[in-house]
Amino acid sequence: MIEDKLTAAIIEGLKALYGSEVSAGQIQLQKTKKEFEGHLTLVVFPFLRMSRKKPEETAQEIGAYLLAHTSEVAAFNVIKGFLNLTIASSAWIRLLNRVHADVQYGITAATAKSPLVMIEYSSPNTNKPLHLGHVRNNLLGNALAHIVAACGYRVVKTNIVNDRGIHICKSMLAWQKYGNGETPQSSGKKGDHLVGDYYVAFDKHYKAEVSELMATGMTKEEAEAASPLMNEAREMLVKWEAGDAEVRALWATMNRWVYDGFDETYRKMGVSFDQIYYESETYLAGKEEVMRGLAKGIFYQKEDGSVWADLTAEGLDNKVLLRSDGTSVYMTQDIGTAKLRFNDYPINKMIYVVGNEQNYHFQVLSILLDKLGFEWGRGLVHFSYGMVELPEGKMKSREGTVVDADDLMEEMIGTAKETSDELGKLDGLTPAEADNIARIVGLGALKYFILKVDARKNMTFNPKESIDFNGNTGPFIQYTHARICSVLRKAAEAGIVVPAELSADVAVSEKEEGLIQLLADFATVVRQAGNDYSPSLLANYTYDLVKEYNQFYHDFSILREENDAVKLFRLTLSANVAKIVRLGMGLLGIEVPDRM
């Protein structure tokens, strides 16, 4: 990088001029203010004790040294204690050549010795289909997995499915009572939708029962406790826990319907997993770990038989891990899942992508895993994100008012096709090509709109705003990529080949310099997004790059440029903008079309 080379030259210059050794951290380079000439400014005040001269004289001497000893500097000027450096055009060309030479610029490949990071996301329940909240979770987890892998880590993408509990029994019981043997095949519905309908049906009948009981004089609490339907669901859960063959068979059948539905949704969303765990298999392992902790004195048992963890030393409270009847809680299940994962993989870091309403849960889980001896326990990361809503407000699963992920994706694709058609962006395409572009644009709009927002914040997803070919949207970025591809195709048709390396004698404008610097920044942004667990950094960087390119495209000729060297330079610059857009959007899980 230009800054790195200048820093090294400044360190050498200070030693040559004043006999002083300094570290890179002592060099303060910043972008030159717009009112002054230059690209980068060196603050010289820290070096006055070395030079024992006035700020202006010190800056003049350092500037003269850099001009004589490094090809990066073309000119300089001094404003008091600030040395403004003008970077040579040849340095910008060399920087562009460096980006151009690397097909995977900014991406660091993992090795067999790279640390292994496991990332958990999705975590659905098998009593309902995936909804808008799951969409944000899946998109964040998937993007985070790509970004962390691009930073040189080995990554395992994992999912934990909540396939046991009273909520599952509610859907099963409602299907038994009201389903008349309905199946996904007989109904034509996706399995997860079908099971979700019966979860809603249970709630409808349950509320009707409670209302009827309250009409006889019961309080709401008494009516809820006396509800025959709810008591049947509880009895079914007891039978499930006891391994009742009939209940387990129905549970397995309905779960398979749901998994088939989930798989279809995941495929359309572009999300996948390397390993899936099921709470029905992990909760027993969790109970074993809790009993091991009890035997070692890590936990304690009350007179009623319940097992607890005393976390008062950590500034928290006491946490129940096993109820008095021996049944487990969510914390127990997460401990069991962690144990199985630790047995399966040599995990160096564990990242949980879970909403911010579970902040306390993961604070406790981290402490408990550490107490139980899991090496990555204390250092686990809870990637905590805010809730997502529609302009109309919150969603409720029991009432069937959630925004279904499948319906949302279909709506986005349909709107993308309609909007693209109106703007003439599908002209000349076959129906199959038009459908594919609509899919890419619709899903890209959805994904980008969600991922551009800081994950920690609550957000409102507005479908209409997301599909806009102007502004900070996925379609705007996608269209710019397609525009560049069109330019490159026209160049190829004219027999113009983008060279493997540019000559260094092209004059570079300020706008072009800014674009080259933005391209080079991609590697830094990927690292920062990985270190900060922030897909939004990468999303907004990509938008900034595209916005700058579109201004360049408007102001400068490319194929009509008469100077051949300049034409090749601008084609190379354009090709690398397309490459970085493709890489950046790819890390976010977003496709970019070559034609629109």
pLDDT recorded at residue 301: 95
pLDDT recorded at residue 400: 46
Q: What is the dihedral of CA 563, 568, 570, 573, to 10 degrees?
A: -160
Alpha helices in 345-426 (DSSP H): 359-371, 405-422
- Looking up tokens 């950094």 gives 537
Are 83 and 169 part of one and the same domain? no
Mean pLDDT rounded to a whole number for the chain: 93
- Contact present, 382 and 354 (Cβ < 8 Å): yes
Least Cα distance to 299 among 354, 219, 367, 250 occurs for: 367
Domain boundary among 52, 87, 122: 87
C-alpha dihedral sign at 225, 229, 230, 235: positive
Are 185 and 54 part of one and the same domain? no
Please give the C-alpha separations between residue 366 and each of 18, 203, 311, 376, in angstroms, as whole numbers: 52, 35, 12, 9
- Contact present, 523 and 517 (Cβ < 8 Å): no
Indicate whether 16 belongs to any domain.
yes
Domain boundary among 217, 244, 273: 273
SS3 40: strand
Indicate whether 183 belongs to any domain.
yes
Indicate whether 235 belongs to any domain.
yes
pLDDT recorded at residue 401: 54
Give me the tens of pLDDT residue by residue for the chain, a chain 596 residues long: 788 889 999 999 999 999 999 999 889 998 888 889 998 999 999 999 999 999 999 999 999 999 999 988 999 999 988 999 998 888 999 999 999 999 999 999 999 999 999 999 999 999 989 999 999 999 999 999 999 999 999 999 999 999 988 899 999 999 999 999 999 999 999 999 999 999 999 999 999 999 999 999 999 999 999 999 999 999 999 899 889 999 999 999 999 999 999 999 999 999 999 999 999 999 889 999 999 999 999 999 999 999 999 999 999 999 999 988 887 888 999 999 999 999 999 999 999 999 999 999 999 999 999 999 998 888 999 999 999 887 765 444 444 456 889 999 999 999 999 988 888 888 888 999 999 999 999 999 999 999 999 999 999 988 888 888 888 999 999 999 999 999 999 999 999 999 999 987 888 998 999 999 999 999 999 999 999 999 999 999 999 999 999 999 999 999 999 999 999 999 999 999 999 999 999 999 999 999 88
Number of domains in the chain: 3
pLDDT recorded at residue 165: 86
Q: What is the dihedral of CA 484, 490, 494, 499, to 10 degrees?
A: 20
Indicate whether 101 belongs to any domain.
no
CA distance 269 to 15: 57
The CATH number that applies at residue 423 is 1.10.730.10
The continuous run of DSSP H or E covering 272 comes out as: none
CA distance 473 to 246: 51
Structure tokens at 313: 């030393």
Are 40 and 176 part of one and the same domain? no
Amino acid at 527: R
The angle formed by the CA atoms of residues 229, 230 and 235, to the nearest 5 degrees, is 95
Cα end-to-end span (Å), the chain: 34
Are 181 and 44 part of one and the same domain? no
C-alpha dihedral sign at 193, 195, 196, 200: positive
Are 442 and 563 part of one and the same domain? yes
CA distance 178 to 199: 11
Are 428 and 552 part of one and the same domain? yes
The CATH number that applies at residue 46 is 3.30.1360.70
Domain boundary among 87, 110, 129: 87
CA distance 403 to 133: 9
- Contact present, 359 and 383 (Cβ < 8 Å): no
Are 419 and 544 part of one and the same domain? yes
List the helix and strand counts (H, then E) for the chain. 21, 14
Structural domain harbouring 33: 2-87
Indicate whether 249 belongs to any domain.
yes
Which residues are 319's β-sheet partners?
Answer: 309
Are 515 and 416 part of one and the same domain? yes
pLDDT recorded at residue 162: 93
Indicate whether 278 belongs to any domain.
no
pLDDT recorded at residue 399: 46
Are 169 and 52 part of one and the same domain? no
Q: Is 228 exposed, middle or buried (0-12, 13-18, 19+ CB in 10 A)?
A: exposed
Alpha helices in 216-244 (DSSP H): 220-226, 228-241
SS3 469: coil
Encode pLDDT of 484-538 as tens digits.
999 999 999 999 999 999 987 888 998 999 999 999 999 999 999 999 999 999 9
- Contact present, 83 and 59 (Cβ < 8 Å): yes
pLDDT recorded at residue 396: 46
Indicate whether 299 belongs to any domain.
no
CA distance 396 to 403: 9
Are 581 and 452 part of one and the same domain? yes
Bridge pairing between strands 82-87 and 40-43: antiparallel
C-alpha dihedral sign at 159, 161, 162, 164: negative
Which residues are 82's β-sheet partners?
Answer: 43, 79
pLDDT recorded at residue 420: 87
Encode pLDDT of 98-130 as tens digits.
999 999 999 999 999 999 999 999 999 999 899
pLDDT recorded at residue 397: 42
Indicate whether 146 belongs to any domain.
no
Are 61 and 196 part of one and the same domain? no
pLDDT recorded at residue 427: 86
Encode pLDDT of 340-383 as tens digits.
999 999 999 999 999 999 999 999 999 999 999 998 888 999 99
